[in-house]
Chains A and B, each alone.
Chain A
Amino acid sequence: MHMPCQSCKKQPATVHLTEISPDGEKSERHYCEKCAVDEGYATKAPSTMPVNEILSGLVIQKAAIQQLADLACPKCKLTFVEFRNAGLLGCPCDYDAFEKALLPLIERAHEGASHHMGKVPRRIATPRPVETDLVRLRTELNQAVTDEQYEKAARIRDQIRILEER
């Protein structure tokens, strides 16, 4: 039943890689653990994961959520909880005031995108520096690949390409 490793063809494949080419073509590779390390696709995992570290990580996350709920915009005084209940923001500053909490929502609503690519008002004094966007997007691309979020990675790659073509 097990798919054999495509390199040694003996051991069952336990490492599955999906690569997305620049044309959006998906290709898959399947290795056993040893061959994956040999091919440079994996590093040996530590044998034990300290349980208390995982737990404290969870606690920290919960505390962070509580902090987000207490966030309030200094300008319009809207709290993040009020926004979550009504679905509408109070003023343009909320996008910065709630950035941490808002960004995941924005990404979810827009297929992983977090940067405007369209029209820019002609009267904006300084045009958006493309370089800073590119740096940020490339960092996000690396993170997405590390997190094995390949569809997100493909979208970020498309955004980078649009910027580079400008």
Chain B
Amino acid sequence: MIIDDIAGHPGEWLRGNGPLCDIVISSRIRLARNVLGFPFLTRASDAQKAELAATIRRHIDAEATAGDWAYLEMARVEEIDQQVLVERHLISRQHADARGSRGVSISRDESVSIMVNEEDHLRIQVLRSGLQLDEIWDDINRIDDRLEERLDYAFHPRYGYLTACPTNVGTGIRVSVMLHLPALKLTGEIEKVFRAAKDMRLAVRGLFGEGTEATGDFFQISNQVTLGRTEAEIINDFKHQVIPRIIDFENRARKALVQERANALDDRIWRSYGALRHARTISSEETMLHLSHLRMGIHLGRIKLVDMKTVNDLFLLSQPGHLQRLYGAKLSGEQRSAARADLIRKHFEACSSSA
């Protein structure tokens, strides 16, 4: 099964090799689409949901190259594996928790996922490492065109693509960019980013998307306005305005830290290294905080004992779903914290012995 395939290595978005990857973790675009002739999901009967899922799956399968795509029926995916999919950003938490006929189609490289019967009949997503919005748009637009040749989408001459929630109507597009902003967090200037984002009608969320708080050093910025602007305008805003400004802001904060508070900065980085290298029990939250400091330290050349791949791998492998899959059993919170500390130590040891 595909989950065996993917659970052992980091997802596409954490590969850490895309453009501007020192600050931009990943970029993602999703399109919301609904099929004409069916009610939205809140009003769909079980039979209609099943028919929708079967129809959409048939058309996705017909378009997909055999072997490169896998369709998962959510009802048949075990709880831990569902969590693995959520942690890899291939499905939403809501999709994992929902009832009724629903599924997800995933490309082998995990860059494309199509959720079937989430809030809308189709949620097409393309995800890439670093800042690659144009490439993503080319991909997702092509996939959307091909599905549209087979499926009649609900489209309104005035409102555009119709969605279950009117906040997505029009283009149905959500552009999200995941940013690593440890220096702005340390200097307290992150509040300014929040305020600027709010003024520009952008949403700021945490690492795992909708419903997660923007805690830690990772922030996902996405558009909220989907109507009255073209897809290109929305994307170009991110590419030319929003993201370059935040990157510049973070770089300046990093530079200031190195120049003015080098000792305090190194102290943070090395304490984080120490904690991860030696802890015997550690929470997911603390792990993320320390990995974040190390990620910044590596990019700034302040620490060479660990490499970026180890840090990127651990971001994902230390998450509860991945951890439990690795151990092949359901673990309690306490067991997870011990297992996580073990896993991190092993990765660090492997790292320092090869260095």
Contact = CB atoms under 8 A, between A and B. Distances in A.
Given A76-B39, A90-B40, A128-B157, A119 B228 contact: no
Contact of B162 (A95, A110, A120): A95
B116 interface: no
Most chain A CB neighbours (cut-off 10 Å) among B34, B152, B164, B173 = B164
Contacts of B230: 117-119, 162
Contacts of B159: 95, 106, 114-116
Interface residues of A, number: 36
Contact of B228 (A89, A111, A123): A111
Given A90-B39, A91-B39, A122-B145, A109 B228 contact: no
Contacts of B224: 109
Given A92-B34, A106-B166, A109-B166, A118 B39 contact: no
Interface string A29-56: 0000000000000000000000000000
Nearest to B34: A92
Contacts of A102: 166
Interface of chain A, helix or strand or loop or mixed?
A: loop
Contacts of A91: 38-40, 43
B40 A114 contact: no
Given A95-B159, A123-B149, A118 B165 contact: no
Contact of B227 (A86, A87, A114, A133): A114
A3 interface: no
A60 interface: no
B34 A106 contact: no
B203 to A, nearest CB: 12
Contact of B169 (A106, A155, A159): A106
Most chain A CB neighbours (cut-off 10 Å) among B157, B165, B166, B233 = B166
Given A92-B36, A111-B228, A118 B171 contact: yes
Contact of A119 (B141, B149, B169, B225): B141
B160 A116 contact: yes
A97 interface: no
B263 to A, nearest CB: 46
B157 A88 contact: no
B34 A123 contact: no
A113 B43 contact: no
Interface in B223-272: 224-231, 233
Interface string B164-203: 1111011101000000000000000000000000000100
A111 B225 contact: yes
A162 B162 CA distance: 21
Given A89-B164, A102-B166, A112 B228 contact: yes
Most chain A CB neighbours (cut-off 10 Å) among B38, B39, B201, B226 = B39
A1 interface: no
A94 B154 CA distance: 12
A87 B167 CA distance: 9
B25 to A, nearest CB: 27
A112 B36 CA distance: 27
Interface string A51-76: 00000000000000000000000011
B153 interface: yes
A118 B170 contact: yes
A117 B119 contact: no
Contacts of A124: 155
Contacts of A96: 156
A57 to B, nearest CB: 28
Interface in B125-155: 141, 144-145, 148-149, 152-155
A149 to B, nearest CB: 15
Nearest to A110: B227
Contacts of A121: 148, 153, 155
A76 B162 CA distance: 15
Most chain B CB neighbours (cut-off 10 Å) among A86, A115, A116 = A116
Contacts of B161: 116, 119
Q: Which 7 residue pairs of A and B lie closest in terms of their CB atoms, listed nearest first?
A: A113-B228, A116-B160, A90-B43, A118-B171, A92-B154, A91-B39, A110-B227
Interface of A: 75-76, 78, 86-92, 95-96, 102, 105-106, 109-124, 128, 133, 155, 159, 162
7 contacts: A88-B42, A111-B228, A115-B227, A115-B228, A117-B229, A119-B160, A128-B157
Given A75-B39, A88-B164, 10 more contacts: A86-B42, A88-B165, A90-B40, A109-B167, A110-B167, A113-B225, A116-B227, A117-B233, A119-B160, A123-B148
